[in-house]
Amino acid sequence: MPQSLTFTDNRNGKRYELPIMNGAIAAKSLQRMKVDQTDPGVVSYDPGYQNTATTISYITYVDGQQGILRYRGYPIEDLVGQSNYLEVAYLLILGELPSQTKNETWRNRILAQVELDPSIHRLIESFPPSAHPMGMLISALGALGTLHPESKQVLDPHVRQEQMYRILGQLPAIAAHCYGHTHGHKVPTADTSKGYIGNFLRMMHNFGLHEEEPNPAVQDAMNALFILHADHEQNCSTAVMRGIGSSHADPYSSMAGATAALYGPLHGGANEAVLAMLSAIQDTAAIPGFLDKVIKKEALLMGFGHRVYRNTDPRATLIKELAYEVFKVTGDNPLIDIAIELERAALNMEYFQERRLYPNVDFYSGIIYQALGIPAEYYTLLFALARSAGWLAHWSEQLDDPAQKIARPRQIYQGAVRRDFVPLAQR
């Protein structure tokens, strides 16, 4: 039986029937609701796209009520426990888990791209060592696009695929050179025999572990973190990736914009803010007083709550378990005691229960990064490396969707109707 909604326009008494498809009504159908022929019709007003679907996607499924996250139908728990990041990137971008032969080809094509053009080295070295690595990454992505002008042929599947190999292969190398420039380290020559994550850790000097070879437990943890951050449907940075890509911009320009969106403290920078919050609390004895300030809106509880989830973020549960595996290598982190007690105290308070505020993915990830010796300014950079797979998947999906148009939201104008210009000398 066809589903629909019936509206009565109380301005003129007219009735309209709007069909429901996939739980949605077509926004343009609202334009039929007019007072007269000069009326442009009704628009929906939705700041922040809180209840607006801009696409039909087949990539990532999130059920915020049930706390479910799946990539192409596969539960995130299964992928973290049994897969690796490059295999998950293949799944997100190409739609299926690869066969052994396809997986090997995919891996080899990506790892063949690990060497950077000398001009990218010079660009990174032109920044002061104190520069934030996200700024360097944004610039490097824009520069990469100028080195590969063929990337503008976004409707050519072969050209598009080559750019994906290059981006996935070179982002870890860019990150390593940013880290080396910041800390005065010579970046080791790539060794692809270590695998994607292993080679990345090696080029980053294993951060603060002072080990020449990647520690297996740390490598497993980083692989899991990359999978957990690989995609999360239509979040802020992915929406930017799709918005820029809707103009048929090349993937480097689109990803530079997405990276800039991720840079914001309300998005990718949230785990850094969690760490600052836990450090400011200093001791578990201070937690009741801190939560009292949160309730009075005198402080912010970072790492709790999510736009989508109204239940436990499944990524947070996995990362919490992961943290203890990392601490077996690095030693206990004093902030973990504060984090655990803060989580326990908040979840037992009626204020947070009523608002269904649970820890999200950012709550524990920063603690893991800190335990590994990773500088706080690199947390968001790691997020960007992992999220690149999801960004590319959505960028490519959009280009293949005939229903998509260049992004051009409507607005509700509330400014002056008309004003007479006054010459400068008379103002």
In Å, how far from its chain's centre is CA 221? 18
Q: Measured between alpha carbons, how far is 334 from 129 in angstroms, rounded to an integer?
A: 29
Q: Given the residues 250, 306, 313, 394, select the one marked as catalytic.
A: 306
Is residue 13 exposed (0-12), middle (13-18) or buried (19+ Cβ within 10 Å)? Answer: exposed
Is 337 labeled as catalytic in the residue annotation? no
Looking at residue 2, its amino acid is P
Q: Measured between alpha carbons, how far is 23 from 167 in angstroms, rounded to an integer?
A: 36
Quote the tokens at residue 289.
Answer: 């007083």
Give the position of tokens 């929406």: 239
Maximum distance among all Cα pairs of the chain, rounded to whole angstroms: 77
Is 400 labeled as catalytic in the residue annotation? no
313 near 358, Cβ under 8 Å? yes
Quote the tokens at residue 106.
Answer: 């995919």
> DSSP string covering 26-47, please?
-GGGGGG--SSTT--------G
Is 306 labeled as catalytic in the residue annotation? yes
Quote the tokens at residue 365.
Answer: 């990830």
Q: Given the residues 121, 132, 185, 267, select the one marked as catalytic.
A: 267
Give the position of tokens 């497993």: 220
Quote the tokens at residue 184.
Answer: 């005065």
Annotated catalytic residues are 267, 306, 362
